[in-house]
Structure 1
Amino acid sequence: MAFPRAGGPSFQQEQPFVDAQFDIFDWHPMFQSCVRYFLDHAQYNGPVQALAAFINIQLPFQKPQNPVLSSRQSNSPPGGPTMGHGGPGMGTPLSRAAGKMPMGPHGAQPYCGITLLPYIRRLIATGFDFPAVMHGFFGDDWRAGVGTLHEQERRNYLFAAKSETWLKVKAAYDMGEDEMVPFLRPLQNVSETEIVGAESSWSEWLAMQDWMLGPRAPSRMGHGGVTVKREED
């Protein structure tokens, strides 16, 4: 599996998770699929391990305390002690190699409830959140399962850069002494639509700082229907 540099995904201007078309109940099974793929396949894949080492973040099975070996919390990686790309126990059944994880009876399967946000944040901060990489980490369902989280975290990264100095932003993306982010890169593959959406959201944040809410909210006009309020206003 290679990680070619590819064009960034399209971004809607609506606030992630606030768009009326977003259905959390439709989203959750796709998110579970991404978690299962990440735990059962991606973390045992050689290129994923190499990139994780380069950006200095431990994969779940590498954690010194309470390692997570699979979504089924077994004592060995899925597939048994077969030899595959990346070392012992890394055999890749066809369904996993294809980028999908089986759902199990009734469309559901228990999985270990870990968070994927640290990995999404680290990929964004180091400039590796290309679609091919996101697919390699989270499987075929990554757009439906973690795409909204990815979009929101890209916006958060823009907000962090606008709010604080480089040193404080780096500290915010460190994860303890063992998993400090080795470098920061400006947000990659940014579209004008994404910038306008972030600018509008930033305007709403500045308005809240001034208690311009409810009946005192600024009139909605300008870019995409939202007045852009800048710091000097």
Structure 2
Amino acid sequence: MAFPRASFQQAQPFVDAQFDIFDWHPNFQSCVRYFLDHAQYNGPVQALAAFINIQLPFQKAYSPVLSSRTASSPPGGLGQGPSPRAAGKMPMGQHGSQPYVSITLLPYIRRLVATGFDFPAVMHGFFGDDWVAGVGPLHEQERRNYLFAAKSDNWLKVKAAYDMGEDETVPFLRPLQNVSEKEIVGAETSWSEWLAMQDWMLGPRAPGMGPGHGRMSHGGVNVKREQE
């Protein structure tokens, strides 16, 4: 099924209004390949991953991912039926080669943000030269999510939200690092929009929909609300 390109150029959760998901995706794939093929075997990356208590893909006890082209066989590989590729459920690479393996990078971005290690040099070390275009938008949003989490609940519940099971609990949390005024203003705007939705201030009742609207304050951020 083909999706209209324009439908992915609107209402993105990122600050950059020109964000295009089709332009972004090849850069994201480049970051995945770099992370799997190079970064996870790099000594400094392994040391930092150990310090912030998150397993790299090749370290997973079950189904470790060794590179962007190879993953381990599932436990008890024999007698499990045809492989996903043989069954037609996994796309082939170019010229019939092995398919590229894909993983989610969000757990690693979230852990770097929560522990205060999401510096540009570290992001480059984990995700390669294309990190700004590839994982930059996700990094930006995860920083905002971390601000929202801190505003929403207490330290204990925020920490629990950033734990990853008993073996990969986050060892510590740090306040968001290197925050700019622009980033704070963007977070305030999005937070106001979230609070407006909690009050069902959507569609025809959305803030700024014409006369008959007053202003009310949510957590220090002013939003409009329809007068009773």
Bin of the TM-score, shorter chain as denominator length: 0.7 to 0.9
Is it true that 1:27 corresponds to 2:24 in the alignment?
yes
Q: CA 1:21 to 1:110, structure 2 compared with 1: closer, same or farther past 3 Å?
A: farther
Which of the residues 110, 119, 127 maps onto 1:121?
110
**Aligned ranges for residues 104-183 of structure 1 at < 5 Å?**
110-183=99-172
Q: Deviations over 1:174-221 (max 9, x none)?
A: 00000000000000000000000000000000000000111111128x
Higher relative contact order (CA 8 A, sep 6+): 1
For the aligned residues, what is the CA RMSD? 2.4
Residue 47 (structure 2) pairs with residue 58 (structure 1):
no
Residue 42 of structure 1 aligns with which residue? 39
Give the structure with higher Rg (CA).
2
8 A contact 1:60–1:69 mirrored in 2: yes
- Measured in 2, the distance between the counterparts of 1:172 and 1:157 equals 10
Q: Name the counterpart of 1:70.
A: 67
Give unmatched runs, 5+ long, in structure 1: 1-13, 76-103, 221-226
- The TM-score, its normalising length taken from structure 2, stands at 0.75
Change (3 A) 1:21 1:205: same
Q: 218, 221, 224: which is aligned to 1:230?
A: 218
The answer to whether the Cα contact below 8 Å between 1:39 and 1:71 also exists between their aligned partners in 2 is yes
Question: What is the CA distance between 1:20 and its match in structure 2?
Answer: 3.8
Distance in 1, matches of 2:217 and 2:137, equals 25
- Kept in 1: contact 2:123–2:131 (CA 8 A): yes
In the TM superposition, what whole-angstrom CA distance separates every residue of 1:2-39 from its partner, at most 9, and x where no partner exists?
Answer: xxxxxxxxxxxx96347441111110000000000000
Unpaired stretches in structure 2, ≥5 consecutive residues: 1-10, 73-92, 210-214, 223-228
The Cα of 1:74 is off from its aligned counterpart by: 5.5
- Whether the 8 Å CA contact 1:124–1:187 is kept in 2: the answer is yes
Deviation of 1:111 after TM superposition, in Å, equals 2.1
Q: What's the CA shift for 1:229? A: 4.4
C-alpha change, 1:22 and 1:110, in structure 2 (3 Å) is: farther
1:130–1:45 CA distance, 2 compared to 1 (3 A):
same
Residue number in structure 2 paired with 1:196: 185
TM-score calculated relative to the size of structure 1: 0.74
State the percentage of identical aligned residues.
Answer: 85
Q: Is the 8 A contact 2:15 2:186 kept in 1?
A: no
What is the number of equivalent residue pairs in this alignment? Answer: 185
